[in-house]
Structure 1
């Protein structure tokens, strides 16, 4: 029977357990997307073992933190990570496909979050706004996304907010990109190479959609340091095609999809096993992150993008009541933005509270 160590404070690694974890890490690195880097990491771990570098590592969290630090420092890959679990980990086949019942449970759980479609609305000045907390699979969220795109069809500009989006399904990335790009000819968006089976999957825009496409109108993407993985791919695809203006913060650069591997009853490891390759740039965002076209702090990103959108619309708006309404809206948004900026500056000038010993 495997012990359960509540919060992990009482867990202690003996020599045999520590050796088993290290062996499993070395073996699991054979799946890492960059073979030459994997070989360097494996050699480094084995050398440290020979030198007694892990002899004093006896805690669960301590072991996971040390291995993560070493792997990330040597590889430069912040996605490589070893995790400790106080509770015993189940034995799950990473190659096994979920059953119909399991998929139904996943879809129900996703529906409780509205498939990570957090907000859809019409902002002042007839600017659409779509906030996504994740990219759920099209088989779950396709109808909801179609409803959202139908709602904003008649707006004159669109803001898509992925500031709090940590990624998800590349198929949903392809679907949402398709709504912003022409049906014909199909556009090659991205390739994903998978090392475990040496395969490459291409992602293209889709010819048929369940709602009207959003074409020939300006689109703005909001990013932050939280924007990650598939959300970064969404921004990178559209930025490379010059379809969007990215407003916000520089992202961290998660371009290598992966999966978790069970190492031991209480340890598992996330390993990037794939690599994105954009056909337009011949590269990905792993080293650079997404570089915004307009760099502003996350706190003022939405107001900034809204103001830019209104300015753009005014350039082509005919004179008359509509133009005057845009002017009034732009002045209101500009005042709100200036107030928010002043608040941020004031907060930065405030002295930090010192902690008492």
Structure 2
């Protein structure tokens, strides 16, 4: 005879509330959210029988005050390691191995316009430098470039800077990151030198976005837009500008908590909540055709 263990939400809520108050980039909101979670627990709102149901309920409450889409309780079907960030790393590695290192497509249209798709994310630079460099070097020979971020869900800010470095001529300030408590501030710059050939900062550049484009992919589009380097074509993006860390709070649950906020040196703000707004609005499905036509017109002119 076997005895099943009843799912207990209270330890998950207690640990998630503790992590919020210790690490969330907005301390006042963290206190409000921690109180909300404890209140909802006392009311019986989290009396559910499995981790996945709890994840949905808690995520809705975590995002109810300021709509921070990086703030969540993530459910993982496979048991997640206890080490901080390990759950996300395992999933990333599987995606990396099945997407040619995050560059699933390089295509040339009309012998002039290169299409470079970066998906499903911008992987850690120590993994992605080689495939990104190979693809960007190949695309550097095109007369115009379309960067497709429609299916990109985020990733590594260092990889964002690496891609930007291939698309600019000079070392450029891209972003300033303010970490928890504003005790540590880091600037991100493009690199003065890149491996392989550089596409450069003068040839036509278009970036495709969708309402799924998120996080680091949004930063890539936003950086290039604010610098006046690229034309954004497609849909407004999801609007997540706060980098996050992950903590295992249950064998199948990870607390995803933003620990920093981005400040663009041109706009003085970021895309949190608003998303990156396209210069040429259209449906994501039509954006490649629109950008291709724009590129050909610009080249002809």
Q: TM-score range by the shorter chain?
A: 0.7 to 0.9
Rate the CA distance shift 1:229–1:63 in 2: closer, same or farther, 3 A. same
Contact 1:94 1:261 in 2 (8 A): yes
Q: Does 1:118 align with 2:104?
A: yes
What is the deviation of 1:94? 4.9
RMSD: 2.7
Contact 1:12 1:58 in 2 (8 A): no
**Which residue does 1:251 correspond to in 2?**
237
Paired residue for 1:138?
125
Give the equivalent residue in structure 2 for 1:201: 186
Are 1:169 and 2:160 counterparts?
no
* Conserved? CA contact 2:242–2:258, under 8 Å: yes
- Give the Cα–Cα distance (whole angstroms) in 2 for the partners of residues 109 and 245 of structure 1: 28
**Could you list the per-position Cα deviations for residues 288-344 of structure 1 after superposition, in whole angstroms to 9, with x for gaps in the alignment?**
1010000111111111100011111111xxxxxxxxxxxxxxxxxxxxxxxxxxxxx
TM-score between both structures, scaled by the size of structure 2 = 0.88
Q: Secondary structure at the match of 2:106?
A: strand
State yes or no: 1:54 paired with 2:44: yes
Question: Counterpart of 1:322?
Answer: none
1:151 Cα deviation from its structure 2 partner: 1.9
Secondary structure of 1:208's match?
coil
Which of these two proteins has the greater Rg computed from alpha carbons?
1
Inter-partner Cα distance in structure 1 for 2:196 and 2:18: 47
Whether 1:32 and 2:47 are equivalent positions in the alignment is no
- Over residues 234-293 of structure 1, what are the superposed CA-to-partner deviations in whole Å (9 max), with x where a residue is unaligned? 000010000000000111111111122122344321111121111111111002101000
The residue number in structure 2 matching 1:336 is: none
TM-score of the two chains, using structure 1 as the length reference: 0.75
Deviation at residue 85 of structure 1 after TM alignment: 5.0
User: Which blocks of at least 5 consecutive residues in structure 1 are unaligned?
Assistant: 4-9, 316-357
What secondary structure does 1:289 align onto?
coil
Cα drift, residue 112 of structure 1: 4.8
Q: Specify which structure has the higher proportion of helix.
A: 1
Q: 1:131 to 1:94 in 2, by over 3 A?
A: closer
DSSP-derived class of the 1:115 partner: coil
Contact 1:107 1:140 in 2 (8 A): no
Task: State the 1:107 CA deviation.
Answer: 7.2
Q: 1:88–1:115: structure 2 CA closer, same or farther, 3 Å change rule?
A: closer
Give distance in 2, aligned partners of 1:299 and 1:108: 27
Measure the CA separation in 2 of the matches of 1:68 and 1:109: 24
CA–CA distance in structure 2, aligned partners of residues 148 and 94 of structure 1: 28
Q: For the structure 1 residues 11 and 266, does the alpha-carbon distance in structure 2 shift closer, same or farther, using more than 3 Å as the test?
A: farther
